[in-house]
Amino acid sequence: METDLFKSWIARGRLKATRQREEILNVFFNSHGHQNLAQIYAQVMKVDPKIGYTTVYRTLKLLTRHGLALQRKFADGETRYEPVSDKSHHDHLICLGCGKIIEFEDKDMEALQEGIAERHRFKISHHRMELYGQCADCRSKKKNSARKG
Amino acid sequence: METDLFKSWIARGRLKATRQREEILNVFFNSHGHQNLAQIYAQVMKVDPKIGYTTVYRTLKLLTRHGLALQRKFADGETRYEPVSDKSHHDHLICLGCGKIIEFEDKDMEALQEGIAERHRFKISHHRMELYGQCADCRSKKKNSARKG
DNA sequence: TTTGAAATTGAAATCCAATTTCATTTTAAG
DNA sequence: CTTAAAATGAAATTGGATTTCAATTTCAAA
Ligand SMILES: [Mn+2]
Ligand SMILES: [Mn+2]
Ligand SMILES: [Zn+2]
Ligand SMILES: [Zn+2]
């Protein structure tokens, strides 16, 4: 369990320690990430069916405000959350075939972005970068069905 | 007026030529771009107050389907539309201070994206790339107020 | 330990942009 | 012209996000 994380979050946020918050945090930090609220809520329900959707909603919002969660909105329009761990910033490859989300980081990319911004005398605070297409699995599946068909 | 564009759109889409569609298209292609539906509707109203919001909505959706408009969703969550002209693909710098949207294109960036995708055996169909921060104007304003305060 | 103000919870209500419905009007093919 | 299909627009609906509010819980102070 993420006991330390929970305690430090509660302390730093001057929040009250509740069973609900601890359970939601545990579920969230043990999930795969990139889940929407309904999915997180469903997982929370398994642990404790009495916790309300509203509380999950508010807790994720709090976690986001305090930097422990990131809200992501990819092109499908769904609002997803991912836990923020010690691993650094990353961007995403998103498969339009199977929905798989692959994370990557690329220093050259970030440097290039800074260069572009400078040319426009623009100071970047953050960015969004997503690559949409077909993953390796979906590409080979498509190739096979084309061969058969 | 974009008479030719209108005619070819109607023809290619096997649509019916209506006053509403022509007026909406004209307003849209003479706008600055990156406008939401309410803003486009407001402009259409000035030309012809009888046109319904629903028709503007449906027309923009049609234009999007036919490749004459692009729907953009930046981080503020608003749905915006921009006319697709002959100019090629571009990405955006978005000022968090004043909302200004600057367009840019960068061949190196696109090449780098291809490289990243290849490394993951991923085939890109399109991407989204937005840089958020402060534009030149907002930066100098901030500097001035800091000097005074 | 008891107390009580403030914070939290959760069901229900509200919000609001996106989308659909449907009666009426318009288009364009024949 | 005639007429079926398409388009329009006001109104209704949808669905996720957010707020409300009465009841419950936390926790610091007594
Ligand atoms: Mn991620
Ligand atoms: Mn643009
Ligand atoms: Zn895939
Ligand atoms: Zn600015």
Enumerate the residues of chain A whose CB falls inside 8 A of the CB of residue B103.
none
- The DSSP secondary structure of A92-127, one letter per residue, reads EEEETTT--EEEE--HHHHHHHHHHHHHTT-EEEEE
Extents of the domains making up chain A: 1-85, 87-149
B145 band by pLDDT with thresholds 50, 70 and 90: confident
Task: Name the CATH superfamily housing domain A87-149.
Answer: Ferric-uptake regulator, C-terminal dimerisarion domain (3.30.1490.190)
B125-135: average pLDDT: 97
CA distance A67 to chain B (A): 17
B149 band by pLDDT with thresholds 50, 70 and 90: low
Q: Given this structure, which CATH class describes domain B1-85?
A: mainly alpha
In this prediction, residue B2 carries a pLDDT of: 85
The amino acid present at B116, given as its one-letter code, is I
B111-127: average pLDDT: 97
Give B73: exposed, middle or buried? Use CB within 10 Å, 0-12, 13-18, 19+.
middle
Note whether B107 contacts A: Cβ–Cβ < 8 A: no
Cα gap A57→B50, rounded to integer Å: 41
In this prediction, residue A73 carries a pLDDT of: 97
Note whether B146 contacts A: Cβ–Cβ < 8 A: no
Query: Residues of chain A whose pLDDT is less than 70?
Result: 143, 146-149
Nearest Cα neighbor of A87 from A22, A29, A21 is A29
B68-90: average pLDDT: 93
Of A75, A116, A135, the CB nearest to B122: A135
Enumerate the residues of chain A whose CB falls inside 8 A of the CB of residue B125.
96, 132-134
B7-34: average pLDDT: 97
Enumerate the residues of chain A whose CB falls inside 8 A of the CB of residue B77.
73
Q: Which residues surround ligand 2, an ion (CB under 5 A)?
A: B 82, 103
Report CB contact under 8 Å: B122, A116: no
Average pLDDT of chain B to the nearest whole number: 94
Q: Does the pLDDT value for residue B97 go beyond 60?
A: yes
Nearest Cα neighbor of A81 from A123, A131, A43 is A43
Note whether B116 contacts A: Cβ–Cβ < 8 A: yes
Q: What is the DSSP letter of B122?
A: -
* For the CA of B91, the nearest ligand: 2
Contact, A31 vs A85, CB < 8 A? Answer: no
B67 φ/ψ sector (left φ>0, alpha ψ -120 to 50, else beta): left
B16 CB contact with strand C at below 7 Å: yes
CA distance B33 to chain A (A): 19
